Amino acid sequence: MTSPALETDYMETIDGLVSHFQDNLPVFETFLKQLRSVVEHATLQPYIHSIKTRIKDPNHLRNKLVRKMVVALEGGPPFDYTSENLFRQINDLVGVRLLHLYTRQMGDIHRILTDLLDEHRFTVIEASARTWDLESKAYFKSIGIETRDSDSLYTSVHYIVDPTARTPRTAEIQVRTLAEEIWGEVDHTINYPRKSESHSCREQLMALARVTSGCSRLVDSIFATHIDSLRAASEALTVVSADGPATARPR
């Protein structure tokens, strides 16, 4: 299924928008470097497994705009992209993804990341978690992140940031666990840019979401246990050294 042929006028509009983006690539590259230097800050490193960054491929932007145009022509939401608002309307022209191990790290990550962004004078215009799990929903709320339901079972925390510069421009920072990344990557490969027509694949993806969600939850539990045991060990050590000769027993 290729995208339906659009009339020349519509294609010219889209081409104009794409070339406007291409003309501005040096600015987006610098924007990305600036964001990288924020997320690579030492205070965040203990929580982060890895960082992925990318600037949107102009061809992917073109496809996205074509899809939006088709939807608009079919009576859906109007196509309201212009060269004045393109960089604000499309949030993921610059994308940064932070991967971490387990969901309960998110409280610290959220606090440190928003502080860093603030210090670097980026405005967070939106911070929200896509989730379908009731327990996660309650957790995100408790750390001050609003949640959105996710019918596709996609889960991730999204930040939309704006440098508050002379041209409005946004970037997206995604934060998710390694297990969520597995689901996200499998889903992306199978369903993007064209949705898989296989019913079984869809079914299996729904099941995979339960597995990866359970996996994140299990890692939460493992680390909770691990931290407890470290704490117990360190208390034992304190007791030993307070009682007599400071001889910690070798393990």
Partner 1 sequence: MESANLPLRATAVRLALFNHKGGVGKTTLTMNVARAMAKLGKRVLVVDSDPQCNLTSLLVEDEVVNDLLDTSDAPEGQTIWSALKPIVEATGDVRYIPPIELPHGMFLLPGDIRLAEFEQELGTMWGECFQRRTRGFRGTTALSTVVNQVVWKYGIDYVFYDSGPNIGALNRTILLDCDFFAIPAACDLFSVRAIKTLGHTLANWIRDWDTIAELAPKDIYLLPGQPHLLGYIPQRYKMYGGKPSMQFAPFIPLIEKTVRSDVIAVLTRVNPLLVAEAVSPLRLGGVKDFGSLATASQREGVAISEVSTGTQEQRDIAEDTFEDLAKRIIDRTSGAVMR
Q: Which of 21, 31, 81, 183 binds partner 1 (CB under 8 A)?
A: 31
Cβ of residue 183: shortest distance to partner 1, in angstroms? Answer: 34
Please give the Cα distance from 220 to 164 (Å, whole number): 36
Total residues contacting partner 1 (rule CB under 8 A)? 16
Asked whether position 240 contacts partner 1 by CB under 8 A, the answer is no
Longest dimension (CA), the chain: 86
Q: Taking CB under 8 A as the rule, does residue 21 contact partner 1?
A: no
One residue of 20, 41, 120, 202 binding partner 1 per CB under 8 A: 120
Q: Which is nearer to partner 1, 45 or 164 (CB)?
A: 164
Report the candidate in 38, 214, 47, 6 with the shortest Cα–Cα distance to residue 120: 38
Task: By CB under 8 A, tell whether 3 contacts partner 1.
Answer: no
CB 136 within 8 A of CB 106: no
Does 166 bind partner 1 (CB under 8 A)? Our answer is yes
Handedness of CA 68, 72, 77, 82 (dihedral sign): positive
Output the smallest distance, CB 168 to partner 1, in A.
Answer: 10
Q: Is the four-CA dihedral 148, 113, 159, 217 of positive or negative sign?
A: negative
Q: Which of 6, 13, 20, 27 binds partner 1 (CB under 8 A)?
A: 27
Binding part of the chain for partner 1, among 124-132, 147-155, 161-169, 214-222 by CB under 8 A, reads 161-169
Q: What are phi and psi of 174, to 5 degrees?
A: -105, 140
Of the residues 1, 8, 26, 189, which one makes contact with partner 1 according to CB under 8 A: 26
* Of 37 and 50, CB closest to partner 1: 37
> Which residues are CB-contacts of 183 (< 8 A; sequence separation ≥ 6)?
153, 154, 155, 205, 208, 209, 212
Closest CA to 176 of 57, 31, 50, 35: 50
CB of 163 to partner 1, least distance (A): 5
- The residues of the shown chain that bind partner 1, judged by CB under 8 A, are 24, 26-27, 30-31, 33-34, 37, 120-121, 163-167, 169
